[in-house]
Amino acid sequence: IAQFEKAAANLNKGAERPDFYFLLASAYLRTGARDKGFEALRVARAVNKEPAEGECYIAGCMVQLGMLDEALEAVDRGIEAEPKFGWPWSNKGDIFFLLGRRDEALSSWRAAQRLYPCRLPPFERPAFLLQEEGFYSEGVLEVLRTIERMPNHGGAHALLAQSLRAGRGRIDARPAHEAVAALEIALEHAPKSAWAKNSLALASIDDAPVERSRLERAAGLLLDALDGPELKQREERALCRTLEEVARFFAEVGEDSGLAWLPRLPSFAGTDVIFSVLEGSKVDLRVPESLRASAAEAEAQERLAYLEARVVEKAGDTTAARERLTSLAARSGTPEPVMRLALL
């Protein structure tokens, strides 16, 4: 509030920004300063030239105060001022939801989807509502409409991954197949999207029993995504969680080497995920020759060395594993060998 007030004092009359005063009003109201909050709203309204947008800010302030009927009146004024602007419709859905008026909330959100197709909130709200009510297939179909409108939106892919995981084993065949088809198209639009690859991998392993070809496709997608540049922590966690599921499926198959399903050398994080699954198994692990042959570059050689160290460790030879990790840590700039060495 102090920063807002300082900035407000420096604003010239000709440069007054309504969004600034709406935010100031929100800050006042959050701390219980209602009189100052309403005064800031009055100033905001006086200088505002976008009535529909302004009413959305006012509705947000009213929601903070629990004045939901007044918030509804504000968004209705916004809709009346600009009927083809989607933001008031999206906010109206949120307010109806808070009022417990489910059907009207869904109707408002869907109106916002038609008018506001490049923003995620009016698409994700219905999906979350349907999932909470146990309608997992309907929730996935709702998200697929989002993917259709925004095929390269990372948030939409993350939402689909969440929906597929929440509905695991409870999604009908048609939505599951539609999800795979939609994600294949989305991946063409966003070939580097970690979320798209994660969602496609999840959709590929939803059937029971899972076909081996789909498992292999899922593994390839995940290992490829884990190699992506500038991978965010949240993305890496999601990819590793799905890779763990894939590794469990392969562990149940009972491969002789336990690692024969790997299409490429995994990242250090991927290797750790795989061995977390294999930790309690009695399978005699071996590194496939195909992976050894693929380790031509320095980075691949480091990955191979880490994988071999984990195989040796799994076999019970911790001394040899420590020696390999010590050697790798000395020449590698990544933290995983050091961290594994510390655990040993």
**pLDDT tens, the chain, 344 aa long:** 888 777 766 665 445 677 777 888 888 888 888 888 888 888 887 777 788 888 888 898 889 888 999 999 999 999 999 999 999 999 999 999 999 999 999 999 999 998 887 788 898 899 999 988 999 999 888 888 888 888 778 788 888 888 888 888 888 888 888 888 888 888 888 888 898 899 899 888 876 677 888 889 999 999 999 998 888 888 899 999 999 999 888 887 655 457 888 999 999 999 999 999 887 777 678 888 989 998 888 889 999 999 999 999 988 899 999 999 999 999 888 899 999 999 99
Length in residues, the chain: 344
Radius of gyration of the chain (CA): 26
The predicted structure's pLDDT at residue 14: 42
Tokens representing residue 195 in the block = 């979320």
Residue 20, SS3 per DSSP? helix
C-alpha 344/C-alpha 337 separation (Å) is 11
The predicted structure's pLDDT at residue 8: 67
Using CA atoms, how far residue 263 sits from 65, 235, 294, 299, in Å, is 56, 21, 10, 17
Residue 259, SS3 per DSSP? coil
Cis bond upstream, residue 209 (ω within 30): yes
Supply the pTM of this predicted model. Answer: 0.71
HSE-CB at 53 with a 13 A cutoff on CA atoms is 12
C-alpha 344/C-alpha 271 separation (Å) is 16
| 3-state SS record for 137-161 | HHHHHHHHHHHHHCCCCHHHHHHHH
C-alpha 338/C-alpha 340 separation (Å) is 5
Locate all alpha helices (DSSP H) within the chain, ordered by sequence.
2-10, 18-30, 34-47, 51-64, 68-81, 86-98, 102-115, 121-132, 136-149, 154-166, 173-189, 194-204, 212-226, 233-253, 268-278, 289-294, 298-314, 318-331, 336-343
215 CB neighbour count, 10 Å cutoff: 20
C-alpha 307/C-alpha 324 separation (Å) is 10
299 CB neighbour count, 10 Å cutoff: 14
The distance between the two most distant Cα atoms of the chain, rounded to a whole number of Å, is 77
